[in-house]
Structure 1
Amino acid sequence: MAPRVLGVSLKMYFGHERALAWCRDVADLAREHPAVRSGAVELAVMPTYLAIPAALRILDGVAVVGGQDLATADEGAYTGEVSGAELAEIGCRVVEVGHAERRALFGETDAVVCAKTAAALRHGLTPFLCVGETDRGEPADAAAACVRQIDDALRDAPGDSNGGAPIVVAYEPRWAIGAPEPAEPAYIRAVCSILRSHVRSLAAHPRSRVVYGGSARPGLLSAVADDVDGLFLGRFAHDPAALASILDEAHALAGVPDAPLPTE
Structure 2
Amino acid sequence: MTATVTVGVSLKTYFGHRQAAGWCERVAELARSHHAVASGDVDLFVLPTYLQILPALRAFADTTVRVGAQDVAGHDPGAFTGEVSAAELAEVGAELAEVGHAERRRLFGETDVDVAAKSAAALRQGLTPVLCVGETERLAPDAAAAATVAQLRGGLDGAPPGTVIVAYEPVWAIGAAEPAPAPHIAAVGRALRAALDGLAERAGSAVVYGGSAGPGLLTELTAVDGAVDGLFLGRFAHQPGALAAVLDEAAALAAGRAPAPDPA
| From 159, 171, 195, the counterpart of 1:174 | 171
Structure 2 spans left out of the alignment, 5+ residues: 257-264
CA distance in structure 2 between the partners assigned to 1:46 and 1:254 by the alignment: 22
SS of the counterpart of 1:255?
helix
SS of the counterpart of 2:122?
helix
- Give TM-score, length-normalised by structure 1: 0.92
CA RMSD after TM alignment: 1.2
Task: Name the aligned partner's letter for residue 66 of structure 1.
Answer: G
Task: Please identify runs of 4+ aligned residues in structure 1 that moved more than 3 A.
Answer: none
CA distance in structure 2 between the partners assigned to 1:125 and 1:196 by the alignment: 21
Equivalent positions of 1:79-98 (< 5 A) are: 79-98=81-100
Task: Name the aligned partner's letter for residue 62 of structure 1.
Answer: T
Displacement of 1:37 after TM fit?
2.3
> Cα 1:204–1:211, aligned 2, differ >3 Å: closer, same or farther?
farther
- Of 74-83 and 93-102, more deviation after overlay is shown by 74-83
Task: Name the aligned partner's letter for residue 14 of structure 2.
Answer: Y
SS of the counterpart of 2:132?
strand
Task: Name the aligned partner's letter for residue 138 of structure 1.
Answer: A
Identity rate of aligned residues, in percent? 60
Structure 1 spans left out of the alignment, 5+ residues: 257-264
SS of the counterpart of 2:144?
helix
Aligned length: 251
The reply to whether residue 211 of structure 1 matches residue 208 of structure 2 is yes
Equivalent positions of 1:51-70 (< 5 A) are: 51-60=52-61, 61-70=63-72
Residue of structure 2 in register with 1:250 after alignment: 250
Residue of structure 2 in register with 1:224 after alignment: 221
| From 170, 183, 186, the counterpart of 1:186 | 183
CA distance in structure 1 between the partners assigned to 2:130 and 2:87 by the alignment: 17
CA distance in structure 1 between the partners assigned to 2:50 and 2:58 by the alignment: 14
Superposed CA deviations along residues 155-203 of structure 1, whole A, max 9, x for unmatched, are: 1112xxx3xx110000000000111110011110111011101110111
Equivalent positions of 1:24-173 (< 5 A) are: 24-60=25-61, 61-158=63-160, 162=161, 165-173=162-170
- Give TM-score, length-normalised by structure 2: 0.92
Superposed CA deviations along residues 13-59 of structure 1, whole A, max 9, x for unmatched, are: 00000000000000000100122123220011000111101111111
Q: Is the 8 A contact 2:5 2:251 kept in 1?
A: no
